């Protein structure tokens, strides 16, 4: 890919992992897309970082505001010396370092209609409702794909309007195939196959004997009738089916139609569920901010701010609303949390990639998120306005939600992070933003690997000049730039029995918790055993393509990682394996059956015969 973003060869050394998921066609569509991201607070910079790493044609970051103390709670590319400067201009050079193939420019003017026409995708963050509606209507009329993302303390909101687009792969899974057991010529022309409910809307046929008209035909639309049957086209005029044949799923492009923000409303029903409640709450906060030119003061319970928020709920009847939920939204709406921005920002960036590539089904059209479980349910432990008031501190956005006591506790935490790869880099960034180990505590990160070129696409703390350097030391130095107060030490040790002289009893007893960012099960299970033994909390996470998992292990409260059971896999009937194996997975299952089960049975028989021999000779009583 050329530096200016024009069509060229894709740098497979850099994008190798991403190509496994997207494919070359989608990657080429991505590199031809110009993206505008408006709002360079914590949420906006998170989206920009992810989109730039993805490899679009160009990114323009827009903001007309200047950096404030509370921005430092989650905006990891703003330093204390940048306070008072334009957020977009300060962020641009640091974002540009992420990917040499993606030009990044800063824009500080108004978002005029002429300016918006330069982009294929527009992302609005920290925007007013009026701006969302105006920009949304214009983008919808011009076929410009729009994403609106917003966070308010513990709450997040995401909206997508891609006008009309083609989705080329709705789920990212490999196409299925199966052996055919029967095709009828009398309606409804049913095929007898296994796993028919997993098939999509269209299939093709090969190796059919007898009814050869089906072989190599155009994709045929199907209708699933039962666990092992579905109907196809009219086969009455075809020759008789004899035997055999393979039916294969065909992924057809699907046209998706969206409506604009102005037209896309939640239907207010008799009982509003949580997303509807949050939708009303966000609109009420927009109305409050428009009237007063500021958000409600954190945890203000003296004046009538929350009452006014409730009065701004528009068409929703008061008796339908969860008043306690709306009040909590008002209490924390001035907050700015790095972990919430990371989550919503990651989702928004994924929607940008969907909009550019047509790969995977986009969000239709609203998504709401809350993390209220972070607050105490005990009314007696409610925070006060004084405890959550701004202090001209880099943690003001977080103090607005959780108060100063939690901030002091975070500063004293001592955490062990195992792994400094893609997940490890994100964890370290979040640790630095929330102020973990920024006082008497410490973060110890260990990783025995060195940085490779292919890491740069996902592990955003590293730059091309860092290739061949140790991951742990480089990552530690990078997050020190984000928050100089964090106390962090890099190690180059693997975790296992051979390093227990380093990570010994004294080491584990000194920890407040462990975070795994590993890429193999053995190391995960080892760390899980150590955490169980020393009774330490464990934060476990992992990714696989577009899928991800998180598990929080709390001693004496939740099950451990090793105790968790994966969902049962679909089993293959043993009669099929013995009599008529007809798929690749059958051969693998046969090998596993013969290698493990039969050898285990032989092992048991061998020992049983030895025991019988010893028993008969009187050796064993």
Going by C-alpha positions, the residue among 242, 248, 252 that lies closest to residue 205 is 248
- Can you read off the two tokens belonging to residue 570? 């679909």
Instruction: Give the angle subtended at the CA of 361 by the CAs of 359 and 362, to the nearest 5°.
Output: 105
Query: Residues 212, 241: contact at Cβ < 8 Å?
Result: no
As a whole number of angstroms, the distance between CA 348 and CA 37 comes to 11
What's 567's DSSP letter?
A: P
Q: Which residues of 561-590 are buried (b: 16+ CB within 10 A; e: fewer)?
A: beeeeeeeeeebeeeebeeebbbeeeeebe
Q: Are 196 and 226 in contact (CB under 8 A)?
A: yes
CA atoms within 13 A on the CB side of 217: 21
d(CA 150, CA 140): 20
Q: Alpha helices, DSSP H only, in 417-486?
A: 422-434, 471-482
CA–CA distances in Å: residue 256 to residues 132, 220, 364, 481: 22, 21, 9, 43
34: left (phi over 0), alpha (psi -120 to 50) or beta: beta
What's the maximum distance between 2 C-alpha atoms anywhere in the chain? 97
Q: Return the structure tokens found at 352.
A: 């940008």
Question: Is residue 365 reached through a cis peptide bond, with omega within 30 degrees of 0 on the bond before it?
Answer: yes
Q: How many of the other CB atoms lie within 10 Å of CB of 359?
A: 23
Instruction: Record the tokens describing residue 227, joined without a space.
Output: 């666990």
CB 71, CB 45: distance < 8 Å: no
- C-alpha 147: how far from its chain's center? 16
Q: Please give the backbone phi and psi of residue 156, each rounded to the nearest 5 degrees, phi first.
A: -135, 155
What is the DSSP secondary structure assignment for residue 392, as one 8-state letter?
Answer: S
- Distance between CA 523 and CA 516 in Å, rounded? 9
**SS3 (DSSP) at 27:** helix
Q: For residue 33, which of 255, 349, 361, 460 has the smallest C-alpha distance?
A: 349
Round to whole Å and give the CA distance between 538 and 346: 23
**193 φ/ψ angles, rounded to the nearest 5 degrees:** -135, 165
- Report the alpha-carbon distance of residue 266 to residue 580 in Å, rounded: 52
CA angle 496, 499, 501 (to 5 degrees): 135
* Residue 540: HSE in the Cβ half-sphere, 13 Å Cα cutoff: 24
Q: Is 575 a catalytic residue?
A: yes
For the chain, counts of helices (H) and of strands (E): 18, 22
* Distances 217 to 225, 249, 341 between C-alpha atoms, Å: 22, 13, 49
Handedness of CA 232, 234, 235, 238 (dihedral sign): negative
Strand pairing partners for 160?
Answer: 147
- The single residue of 217, 388, 575, 615 carrying the catalytic annotation is 575
Active site residues: 575
């Amino acid at each position: 890919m050329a530096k200016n973003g024009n069509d060229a060869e894709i740098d497979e050394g850099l994008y190798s992992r991403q190509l496994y998921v997207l494919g070359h066609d989608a990657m080429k569509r991505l590199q031809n897309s110009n993206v505008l991201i408006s709002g360079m607070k914590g949420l906006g910079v998170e989206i920009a970082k992810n989109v730039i790493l993805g490899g679009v044609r160009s990114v323009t970051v827009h903001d007309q505001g200047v950096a404030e103390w509370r921005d430092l709670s989650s905006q990891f590319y703003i330093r204390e010396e940048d306070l008072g400067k334009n957020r977009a201009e300060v962020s641009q050079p640091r974002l540009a370092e992420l990917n040499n193939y993606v030009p990044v420019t800063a824009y500080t003017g108004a978002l005029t209609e002429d300016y918006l026409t330069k982009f294929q995708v527009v992302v609005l963050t920290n925007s007013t409702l009026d701006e969302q509606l105006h920009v949304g209507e214009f983008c919808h009329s011009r076929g410009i794909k729009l994403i609106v993302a917003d966070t308010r303390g513990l709450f997040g909101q995401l909206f997508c309007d891609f006008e009309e687009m083609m989705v080329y792969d709705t789920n990212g899974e490999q196409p299925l195939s199966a052996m055919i057991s029967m095709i009828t010529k009398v309606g409804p022309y049913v095929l007898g196959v296994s796993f028919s409910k997993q098939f999509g809307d269209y299939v093709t046929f090969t190796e059919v004997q007898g009814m050869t008209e089906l072989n190599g035909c155009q994709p045929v639309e199907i209708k699933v009738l039962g666990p092992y049957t579905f109907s196809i086209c009219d086969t009455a005029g075809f020759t008789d089916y004899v035997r055999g044949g393979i039916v294969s799923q065909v992924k057809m492009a699907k046209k998706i139609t969206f409506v604009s923000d102005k037209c896309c409303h939640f239907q207010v029903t008799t009982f509003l569920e949580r997303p509807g409640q949050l939708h009303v709450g966000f609109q009420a906060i927009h109305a409050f901010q428009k009237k007063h030119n500021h958000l409600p003061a954190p945890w203000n319970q003296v004046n009538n701010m929350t009452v006014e928020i409730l009065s701004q709920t528009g068409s929703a009847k008061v008796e339908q609303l969860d008043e306690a939920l709306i009040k909590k939204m008002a209490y924390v709406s001035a907050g700015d949390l790095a972990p919430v921005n990371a989550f919503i920002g990651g989702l928004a960036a994924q929607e940008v990639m969907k909009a550019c590539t047509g790969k995977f089904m986009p969000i239709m059209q609203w998504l709401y998120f809350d993390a209220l479980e972070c607050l105490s349910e005990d009314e007696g432990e409610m925070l006060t306005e004084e405890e959550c008031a701004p202090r001209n501190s880099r943690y003001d956005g977080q103090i607005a939600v959780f108060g100063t006591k939690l901030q002091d506790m975070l500063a004293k935490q001592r955490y062990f992070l195992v792994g400094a790869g893609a997940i490890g880099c994100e964890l370290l960034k979040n640790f630095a933003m929330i102020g973990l180990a920024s006082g008497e505590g410490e973060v110890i990160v260990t990783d025995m690997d060195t940085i490779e070129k292919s890491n740069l696409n996902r592990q955003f703390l590293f730059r091309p000049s860092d290739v061949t350097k140790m991951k742990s030391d480089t990552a530690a130095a990078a997050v020190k730039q984000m928050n100089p107060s964090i106390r962090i030490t890099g190690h180059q040790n693997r975790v296992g029995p051979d390093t227990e002289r380093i990570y010994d009893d004294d080491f584990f007893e000194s920890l407040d918790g462990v975070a795994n960012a590993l890429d193999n099960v053995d190391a995960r299970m080892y760390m899980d055993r150590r955490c169980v033994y020393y009774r330490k909390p464990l934060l476990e996470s992992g990714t696989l393509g577009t899928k991800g998992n998180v598990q929080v292990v709390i001693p004496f409260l939740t099950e451990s990682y090793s105790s968790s059971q994966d969902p049962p896999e679909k089993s293959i009937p043993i009669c099929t394996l013995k009599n008529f194996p007809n798929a690749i997975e059958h051969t693998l299952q046969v090998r596993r059956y013969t290698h493990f089960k039969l050898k285990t049975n032989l092992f048991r028989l061998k020992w049983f015969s030895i025991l019988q021999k010893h028993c008969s000779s009187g050796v064993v009583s």
